[in-house]
Amino acid sequence: MTRHITAVHFWAGCPKSANSKWQRFLAVVRRCHQEDWRNVLVLSRMPDDVALVEPFTDAGCEIVLQQRSPGNFDAGSIWRTFRLLRRLKCDIFHCHNDHTSPLIGAALARVPVRIWSKLAMSSHYEQAIAPTGIHRIQASVRLSGVLAHRIHTVSDAVGQELIALGIAKDKVQTIRCPIDLARYDGADGLSFRRELGSGQQDLWVTAIGHAVSVKGWDVLVRAFGQMAGEFPQAQLALVGSSDDNGERDFGQAIRALVQEAGLAARVRFLGHRCDIPACLAGSDVFVLPSRSEGQPLALMEAMAAGRPCIAAAVGGVPETITHGETGLLFDRENVEQLTDCLRSVLADTFLRRRLGAAARKSSSAFDLETYVEAVFALYCSLLEKNGRFAE
């Protein structure tokens, strides 16, 4: 194998914490570094906590800052990506979410291996609407499907969406994203409960996401309000930012909904946190009320923490949870079904323990090393196909 492979990992964002996404990026970079490959990580800006990039630089990875594409077809993004990849003599270009403009730049730069990780369902799915008119063409997705040599999808549901658009089936490969299971072993949930001033009798229902419509916090608040009177010991924790750009309006709407329901004393907005294992360990029930998910990392983390999970049956969620065995599922936006699920688990200690134990056992499928080896094998197979390995 030649020792002069350059891999560009195009994040198109900025890490906020050492979460599961950060863990898997770092693990892939380290695996490539083991082969003496040159690694370049492209971020939109440096994180507020610069310690988040130190493990990457310690692994020999270069950090490059490049503005995220403001649109699907952006000349500036195409040009910036083209120049960067030509300068680096890039062999592997792996982009995540921000895809069409960067992939055009990579194709113009004649990068021999181009991979797109599609991490979510389409925006139309998220909004539960059928695309009409010119939107039915989904030109951005179709063009990215042509330009990428392989599309890494995080669930079969995401892949089926692409295949339904006419993208070649042999271009689509599901590799489910991992989590670092060891982070959830022995996490200190008592610290989380002490912070909240929680008594032993309290039952904490926790959701992790952020204040945008697709995460469905409004659905959860309504369901919680319907059963709150039956379970005076139940409390609700909403973990995730609610005041960043694009979150303020929805965040204010959720707070207003809480006030209208008379739940202000029982619903806590905890903001962005870096101690997710502790938050989960200190919770009694986890709920994922999302309107759309490609493959929900928050759900996988809750399962790894051994929490009983309730989730909307959207996107890749039914591939992650088996209803009645490793968790409970409800139909998207169905407040009544979610309310019934909450009643079931809050009223039955044995059910909570059974679902939590089964969830923890099934989380072994989310192993980080398995994911890394699958991604690295994909890199190698495409490099070999394009003649980038020495005889």
In sequence order, the β-bridge partners of residue 234 are: 203
What is the spatial distance between Cα 19 and Cα 274, in angstroms, rounded to a whole number? 8
Q: Which domain range does residue 258 map to? A: 182-365
Among candidate residues 7, 1, 2, the one with its CA nearest the CA of residue 62: 7
169 and 198 share a domain? no
- Token pair recorded at residue 388: 């980038």
**For residue 1, pLDDT beyond 60:** no
Which residue would you say has higher pLDDT here, 71 or 237? Answer: 237
328 and 256 share a domain? yes
204 and 138 share a domain? no
**For residue 273, pLDDT beyond 50:** yes
157 and 203 share a domain? no
Place of tokens 């993208």: 167
What is the tally of structural domains in the chain? 2
**For residue 389, pLDDT beyond 90:** no
Domain containing residue 341: CATH number: 3.40.50.2000
pLDDT band at 200 (very low <50, low <70, confident <90, very high): confident
pLDDT band at 71 (very low <50, low <70, confident <90, very high): confident
171 and 271 share a domain? no
209 domain-assigned: yes
256 domain-assigned: yes
pTM given for the model: 0.88
305 domain-assigned: yes
204 and 146 share a domain? no
Average predicted confidence (pLDDT) for the chain = 93
Pairing of strands 203-208, 285-288: parallel
What is the spatial distance between Cα 242 and Cα 239, in angstroms, rounded to a whole number? 9
For a pLDDT cut of 70, what percent of the chain falls above it? 94
**For residue 106, pLDDT beyond 60:** yes
218 domain-assigned: yes
